[in-house]
């Protein structure tokens, strides 16, 4: 694996880092406290081109390679994990289905407003009674002339309160299990489509999450992504792309917490010396740094695999799942140690590690739990 970043990747790192430090970090605690989405920063990220990072240039995106993409998510998440996940979901789950499976007409219509950030995209697969077992969703789409009539509910949909474009999955043929699912593009404001309850979450509080309700919602056949029955494949393929982004988000959270703990360990004195002089703290810092490095390598490796897959058509499910599994477990472990190093101060909101600790947990859950990642990895290595 060649880890020497090229000029473009270095440039994206610098842009994302400067933006994250100057604009994202200063408001992260306040937005978390107020449960408020980072709308002003989404606009600024759009101006920088970040909302179109993974969208091809022919549809007005940046068409960046996936290493550049993970670098941007990592840097933004280091400052604010909520802003990081909105960026990741928009560029992966929300856009991937269109880029990889959309018709030319769908791409021309939907990708430019996503690339410019005028519209925010998201993804509706999970339902109140169906999370991990994605093939068992209950939302139905019934063909009626040149429209599908969609009925059902979705739950835990990231960015939904301010999103404009929703990639939705519904059953079109209940007799075919996962082969009976289809994917649809649903626009905000479509009659019969409304938002459900907004969730009051432990972490990533600035990334608004709510349910979706479909009551005889009519969507034109022209908005079906892929063929009828291809929905499960589109969902899984989008999740491969998405998991690379969540791995990067987790690396960013872990790095933020580690850097805060390192600085604190040098400043804080106890028993007459900086606590960084104690071997107990040094071993924690050494393990944190090592695990982050390993998570970072797996994440970059999954990004390279994702780009190779664009040429070969091969799946990179294993690489994406390994990166997401290891990076999310690293984020939870590292943020817990960061709180521990801060002692009592780590438990109060004036110190960012309190937020990192709460934000890290979701990376082990969304876009497939750690248990699901292990299933995906095992399925791939036992094939």
- Which residues are known catalytic residues? 367
Contacts to ligand CAA from residues 178-197, by CB under 6 A? 178-179
Contacts to ligand CAA from residues 93-122, by CB under 6 A? 93
The count of chain residues that interact with ligand CAA, using the rule CB under 6 A, is 27
- Would you count residue 158 as binding ligand CAA (CB under 6 A)? yes
- Would you count residue 127 as binding ligand CAA (CB under 6 A)? no
Query: CA–CA separation, 119 vs 77, rounded Å?
Result: 21
Q: Is 182 helix (H, G, I), strand (E, B) or coil?
A: strand
- Would you count residue 236 as binding ligand CAA (CB under 6 A)? yes
Which contacts of 5-14 are long-range, i.e. CB under 8 A and separated by 24 or more positions?
5/67, 5/71, 8/64, 8/65, 8/68, 9/65, 9/67, 9/68, 9/71, 12/64, 12/68, 12/71, 12/72, 13/71, 13/75
Q: What is the DSSP string of 224-260?
A: EESSTT-HHHHHHHHHHHHHHHHHHHHHHHHHHHHHH
Residues 6+ apart with CB under 8 A from 58: none
Q: Please state the separation of Cα 180 from the chain's center in Å.
A: 26
- Pairing relationship of beta strands 193-198 and 140-144 according to DSSP bridges: unpaired
- Would you count residue 373 as binding ligand CAA (CB under 6 A)? no
Closest approach, Cβ 246 to ligand CAA, in A, equals: 7
Closer residue to ligand CAA, CB minimum distance, 9 or 126: 126
Closest approach, Cβ 41 to ligand CAA, in A, equals: 18
Closest approach, Cβ 340 to ligand CAA, in A, equals: 28
Tokens 């909101």, residue? 349
Query: CA–CA separation, 7 vs 331, rounded Å?
Result: 28
Residues 6+ apart with CB under 8 A from 152: 127, 137, 138, 139, 140, 170, 214
Closest approach, Cβ 238 to ligand CAA, in A, equals: 8
Q: Token pair of 253, please?
A: 């959270």
- Would you count residue 132 as binding ligand CAA (CB under 6 A)? yes
Among 32, 240, 329, 354, binds ligand CAA (CB under 6 A): 240
Closest approach, Cβ 283 to ligand CAA, in A, equals: 34
- Would you count residue 372 as binding ligand CAA (CB under 6 A)? yes
Contact 158, 85 (CB under 8 A): yes
Closer residue to ligand CAA, CB minimum distance, 123 or 300: 123
Closer residue to ligand CAA, CB minimum distance, 109 or 233: 233
Q: Which of 79, 65, 81 is nearest to 16 (CA)?
A: 79
Closest approach, Cβ 261 to ligand CAA, in A, equals: 27
Closest approach, Cβ 305 to ligand CAA, in A, equals: 12
CA angle at residue 355 from 352 to 358, to 5 degrees? Answer: 150
Q: Which of 36, 61, 173, 70 is nearest to 114 (CA)?
A: 61
- Would you count residue 139 as binding ligand CAA (CB under 6 A)? no
Contact 265, 279 (CB under 8 A): no
Among 48, 81, 134, 309, binds ligand CAA (CB under 6 A): 134
The number of helix segments (H) and strand segments (E) in the chain equals 12, 10
Query: Phi first, then psi: what are they for 237, rounded to 5°?
Result: -65, -40
Closer residue to ligand CAA, CB minimum distance, 138 or 178: 178
- Would you count residue 67 as binding ligand CAA (CB under 6 A)? no
Q: Which of 80, 71, 33 is nearest to 257 (CA)?
A: 80
- Would you count residue 317 as binding ligand CAA (CB under 6 A)? yes
Closer residue to ligand CAA, CB minimum distance, 281 or 376: 376
Closer residue to ligand CAA, CB minimum distance, 110 or 123: 123
| Contact track, ligand CAA, 10-49, x by CB under 6 A | ----------------------------------------
- Would you count residue 378 as binding ligand CAA (CB under 6 A)? no
Among 210, 239, 253, 292, binds ligand CAA (CB under 6 A): 239
Query: CA–CA separation, 144 vs 242, rounded Å?
Result: 32
Among 23, 127, 329, 367, binds ligand CAA (CB under 6 A): 367
Q: Which residues bind ligand CAA (CB under 6 A)?
A: 89, 93, 123, 125-126, 132, 134-135, 156, 158, 178-179, 232-233, 236-237, 239-240, 315, 317, 366-368, 372, 375-376, 379
């Amino acid at each position: 694996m060649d880890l020497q970043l090229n000029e473009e990747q270095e440039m994206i790192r610098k842009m994302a880092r400067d933006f994250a430090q100057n604009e994202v970090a200063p408001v992260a605690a306040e937005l978390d406290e107020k449960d408020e989405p980072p709308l002003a920063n989404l606009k600024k990220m759009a101006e920088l081109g970040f909302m179109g990072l993974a969208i091809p240039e022919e549809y007005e995106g940046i068409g960046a390679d996936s290493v550049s993409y993970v670098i941007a998510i990592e840097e933004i998440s280091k400052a604010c994990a909520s802003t990081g996940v909105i960026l990741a979901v928009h560029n992966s789950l929300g856009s991937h289905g269109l880029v990889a499976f959309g018709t030319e007409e769908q791409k021309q219509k939907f990708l430019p407003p996503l690339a410019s950030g005028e519209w925010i995209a998201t993804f509706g697969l999970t339902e109140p009674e169906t999370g991990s077992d994605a093939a068992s969703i209950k939302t139905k789409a019934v063909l009626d002339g040149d429209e599908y009539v969609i009925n059902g509910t979705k739950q835990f949909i990231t960015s939904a309160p301010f999103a404009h474009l929703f990639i939705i999955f519904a059953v079109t043929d209940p007799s075919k299990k996962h082969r009976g699912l289809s994917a649809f593009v649903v626009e905000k404001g479509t009659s019969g489509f409304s938002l459900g309850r907004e969730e009051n979450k432990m972490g990533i509080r600035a990334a608004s999450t709510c349910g979706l309700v479909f009551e005889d919602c009519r969507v034109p056949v022209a908005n079906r992504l892929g063929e009828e029955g291809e929905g499960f494949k589109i969902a899984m393929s989008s999740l491969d792309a998405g998991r690379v982004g969540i791995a990067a988000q987790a690396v960013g959270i872990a790095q933020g917490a580690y850097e805060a703990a390192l600085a604190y360990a040098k400043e804080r004195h106890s028993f007459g010396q900086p606590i960084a002089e104690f071997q107990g703290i040094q071993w924690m810092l050494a393990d944190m740094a090592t695990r982050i490095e390993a998570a970072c390598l797996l994440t970059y490796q999954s990004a390279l695999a994702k780009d190779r897959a664009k040429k070969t058509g091969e799946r990179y499910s294993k690489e994406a799942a390994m990166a997401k599994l290891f990076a999310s477990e690293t984020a939870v472990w590292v943020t817990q140690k960061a709180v521990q190093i801060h002692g009592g101060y780590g438990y109060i909101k004036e110190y960012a590690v309190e937020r990192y600790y709460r934000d890290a947990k979701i990376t082990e859950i969304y876009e497939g739990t750690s248990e699901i990642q292990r299933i995906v990895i095992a399925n791939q290595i036992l094939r």
